[in-house]
Amino acid sequence: MKLHVVRPEQEAIGNYTRAIAHNNEINLSQVSDNECEVIMANDVLDSFTLEKIPQLIQTLAKKMRINGTLVIGGTDVRLLCKLVINDQLEEAEASNIIGVIKSATSPLQIKSLLKQIGLQVISSQITGVHYELTAKRS
Protein backbone atom coordinates (compact mmCIF):
# COMPACT_ATOMS: atom_id res chain seq x y z
CA MET A 1 0.00 0.00 0.00
CA LYS A 2 1.05 3.57 -0.70
CA LEU A 3 -0.25 6.18 1.72
CA HIS A 4 -0.42 9.95 1.32
CA VAL A 5 -1.05 11.96 4.49
CA VAL A 6 -2.63 15.29 3.59
CA ARG A 7 -4.40 18.27 5.12
CA PRO A 8 -8.21 18.32 4.66
CA GLU A 9 -8.07 20.64 1.62
CA GLN A 10 -5.41 18.61 -0.20
CA GLU A 11 -5.85 15.80 -2.67
CA ALA A 12 -3.77 12.64 -2.51
CA ILE A 13 -1.32 11.54 -5.17
CA GLY A 14 -2.92 9.20 -7.73
CA ASN A 15 -2.85 5.52 -6.69
CA TYR A 16 -2.17 6.47 -3.05
CA THR A 17 -4.58 5.93 -0.18
CA ARG A 18 -5.52 9.28 1.37
CA ALA A 19 -5.27 9.89 5.14
CA ILE A 20 -6.20 13.27 6.61
CA ALA A 21 -4.11 15.01 9.27
CA HIS A 22 -5.93 17.78 11.10
CA ASN A 23 -5.83 19.33 14.60
CA ASN A 24 -3.21 16.96 16.04
CA GLU A 25 -5.02 13.90 14.74
CA ILE A 26 -4.65 11.43 11.93
CA ASN A 27 -7.09 8.65 11.10
CA LEU A 28 -5.19 5.55 10.00
CA SER A 29 -7.89 3.04 10.89
CA GLN A 30 -7.98 1.83 7.26
CA VAL A 31 -4.24 0.98 7.36
CA SER A 32 -2.87 -2.13 9.07
CA ASP A 33 0.48 -2.16 10.84
CA ASN A 34 3.41 -3.08 8.54
CA GLU A 35 1.26 -2.50 5.43
CA CYS A 36 2.80 0.55 3.76
CA GLU A 37 5.67 0.39 1.32
CA VAL A 38 5.62 4.19 0.98
CA ILE A 39 4.19 6.89 3.23
CA MET A 40 4.20 10.42 1.84
CA ALA A 41 3.73 12.83 4.74
CA ASN A 42 5.65 15.74 3.30
CA ASP A 43 3.55 18.48 4.99
CA VAL A 44 2.25 16.60 8.02
CA LEU A 45 4.48 18.07 10.73
CA ASP A 46 2.91 21.51 10.29
CA SER A 47 -0.47 20.03 11.34
CA PHE A 48 0.77 18.84 14.76
CA THR A 49 1.97 20.60 17.89
CA LEU A 50 5.51 19.90 19.09
CA GLU A 51 4.38 17.62 21.91
CA LYS A 52 2.32 15.45 19.51
CA ILE A 53 5.02 14.99 16.83
CA PRO A 54 6.88 12.07 18.51
CA GLN A 55 3.60 10.14 18.77
CA LEU A 56 2.79 10.93 15.12
CA ILE A 57 6.17 9.64 13.94
CA GLN A 58 5.78 6.43 15.97
CA THR A 59 2.29 5.90 14.54
CA LEU A 60 3.52 6.33 10.97
CA ALA A 61 6.54 4.06 11.57
CA LYS A 62 4.26 1.25 12.79
CA LYS A 63 2.43 1.36 9.45
CA MET A 64 5.65 0.92 7.43
CA ARG A 65 6.79 -2.41 6.00
CA ILE A 66 10.36 -3.58 6.41
CA ASN A 67 12.32 -1.61 3.78
CA GLY A 68 9.38 0.80 3.56
CA THR A 69 9.98 4.50 2.98
CA LEU A 70 8.65 7.51 4.87
CA VAL A 71 8.86 11.03 3.45
CA ILE A 72 8.05 13.52 6.19
CA GLY A 73 8.36 17.28 6.27
CA GLY A 74 7.42 20.59 7.73
CA THR A 75 8.43 24.21 8.21
CA ASP A 76 11.99 24.83 9.39
CA VAL A 77 11.79 27.29 12.27
CA ARG A 78 15.46 28.29 11.94
CA LEU A 79 15.20 29.12 8.25
CA LEU A 80 11.96 31.00 8.76
CA CYS A 81 13.56 33.20 11.43
CA LYS A 82 16.75 33.66 9.41
CA LEU A 83 14.86 34.79 6.31
CA VAL A 84 12.85 37.33 8.30
CA ILE A 85 15.91 38.69 10.11
CA ASN A 86 17.83 39.03 6.83
CA ASP A 87 14.91 40.80 5.11
CA GLN A 88 14.52 37.95 2.62
CA LEU A 89 10.96 37.25 3.74
CA GLU A 90 8.41 39.96 4.41
CA GLU A 91 6.87 39.99 7.89
CA ALA A 92 3.40 39.67 6.35
CA GLU A 93 4.38 36.48 4.50
CA ALA A 94 6.06 35.06 7.63
CA SER A 95 2.93 35.90 9.60
CA ASN A 96 0.78 34.06 7.05
CA ILE A 97 3.00 30.98 7.37
CA ILE A 98 2.85 31.11 11.17
CA GLY A 99 -0.92 31.55 11.08
CA VAL A 100 -1.42 28.34 9.10
CA ILE A 101 0.89 25.94 10.97
CA LYS A 102 0.57 24.42 14.44
CA SER A 103 4.34 24.18 14.91
CA ALA A 104 7.67 24.77 13.24
CA THR A 105 10.47 22.27 13.75
CA SER A 106 13.99 21.66 12.52
CA PRO A 107 15.29 18.83 10.36
CA LEU A 108 17.83 17.96 13.08
CA GLN A 109 15.07 17.55 15.66
CA ILE A 110 13.03 15.28 13.38
CA LYS A 111 16.11 13.29 12.26
CA SER A 112 16.79 12.56 15.91
CA LEU A 113 13.21 11.37 16.49
CA LEU A 114 13.35 9.15 13.39
CA LYS A 115 16.63 7.58 14.52
CA GLN A 116 15.32 7.02 18.06
CA ILE A 117 12.60 4.72 16.73
CA GLY A 118 14.97 2.82 14.45
CA LEU A 119 14.43 4.49 11.10
CA GLN A 120 17.42 5.29 8.90
CA VAL A 121 17.43 8.79 7.41
CA ILE A 122 18.59 8.45 3.80
CA SER A 123 18.11 11.98 2.48
CA SER A 124 17.03 15.49 3.33
CA GLN A 125 15.87 18.33 1.13
CA ILE A 126 15.19 22.00 1.86
CA THR A 127 13.12 24.31 -0.34
CA GLY A 128 12.56 27.80 1.02
CA VAL A 129 11.44 27.29 4.61
CA HIS A 130 10.10 23.77 3.98
CA TYR A 131 12.13 20.61 4.52
CA GLU A 132 11.56 16.95 3.76
CA LEU A 133 13.34 13.94 5.20
CA THR A 134 13.28 10.49 3.65
CA ALA A 135 13.68 7.59 6.05
CA LYS A 136 13.72 3.84 5.61
CA ARG A 137 12.66 1.06 7.96
CA SER A 138 15.35 -1.64 8.04
The predicted pLDDT at position 42 comes to: 93
Q: Supply the CATH number for residue 29's domain.
A: 3.40.50.150
Enclosing H/E stretch for 84: helix 77-85
Pick out the chain residues at pLDDT < 70: none
Query: What total of structural domains would you count in the chain?
Result: 1
- State the pTM of this model: 0.92
The predicted pLDDT at position 19 comes to: 95
Backbone angles phi, psi at 118, to 5 degrees: 90, 10
DSSP 29: T
The predicted pLDDT at position 56 comes to: 97
